[in-house]
Amino acid sequence: MRPDWLTHPLRWQRGPVPWAATARGAAGMAVPLGLALAAGRPAEGVLAGLGAMFAGVNDRPAGRRTGAVQQAVPALAGALGLLIGTVGGWWAVPLLGAVGALSGAISVTGPVASAAAVQLTVLTVLGCGMPAPLPGWARAGCYLAGAAWLLLLRQLTTHPQPLHAERQAVAAVFDALADALDAAGTDRAESARRHLTAALDRAGEQLRTDHAHPLRTRLAAASALCEAGVALLHAARPLPTRLATGPRRLATAVRTESLPGPLPV
């Protein structure tokens, strides 16, 4: 029998497909590249498409403000890398070493800084070897234009209500906990546990850039309840149906910004 730690990474992981981000990624690269090719400027199109591609890498679930920070800061770092990469000759070797050391230092300060450090390093390397017939400032400008295009698509397709995505993600944790409590002692328990873990991961991803986020307290409470819920799942015994009522009321309270009312003991 093969151990679970070996087979789990190879098992198909079911989860929600980010269709909006998928469509933005396709349009973000195709539109600037297609327009540039039609205008006979392939170099500009490739750079703009590159900017859109890297901005798409950072197109993670979040609200408008958080999403803009997640994409804009790394895009600026990438443009700086292209600008630095125009330095040729033997200077490129110590320059790449200095950029690598700087990127390593800033990457430990947070997830956005880490993404920015990666783009700074990668685009500096690309800039050093890129044969595009453009000066450094033009390369950086085209790159930023592509990233700005994807960021604009993100702002136009994100729910306008403040913290909408964050609230939905935290509420989904309570819903997943309720489903897990309902599944305790049944053959659905393991699947419910995986769904609960995925919901926690998505909520943490939503709130990862803001340590003072107003929903962090509710997510912390949800995490504590989930730990207790997983312990009950491992007990492999059916639970009273009223236990799931509390998490469902908490989910509704998060979504509507209201009080949950009386909860079952």
Measured CA to CA in angstroms, residue 1 lies from 4, 6, 7, 13 at distances of 9, 11, 10, 21
Q: What is the pLDDT of residue 205?
A: 77
pLDDT of 33 higher than 80: yes
Residue at token pair 């819920």 = 229
Burial of 33-42, coded b for 16+ CB within 10 Å and e otherwise, reads: beebeeeeee
pLDDT at 12 (0 to 100): 67
Report the mean per-residue pLDDT for the chain: 84
Whether 211 shows a pLDDT value over 60: the answer reads: no
Q: Is the whole-model pTM more than 0.75?
A: no
**Cβ-count burial 115-145 (b if 16+ within 10 Å, e if not):** bbbbbbbebbbbbbebebebeeebbbbbbbb
- Which residue type is seen at 46? V
Q: Is 164 exposed, middle or buried (0-12, 13-18, 19+ CB in 10 A)?
A: middle
The larger pLDDT score, comparing residue 65 to residue 244, is at 244
Q: What is the DSSP letter of 38?
A: H
**Residue that wins the pLDDT comparison between 139 and 62:** 139
User: What's the average model confidence in pLDDT over 165-169?
Assistant: 82
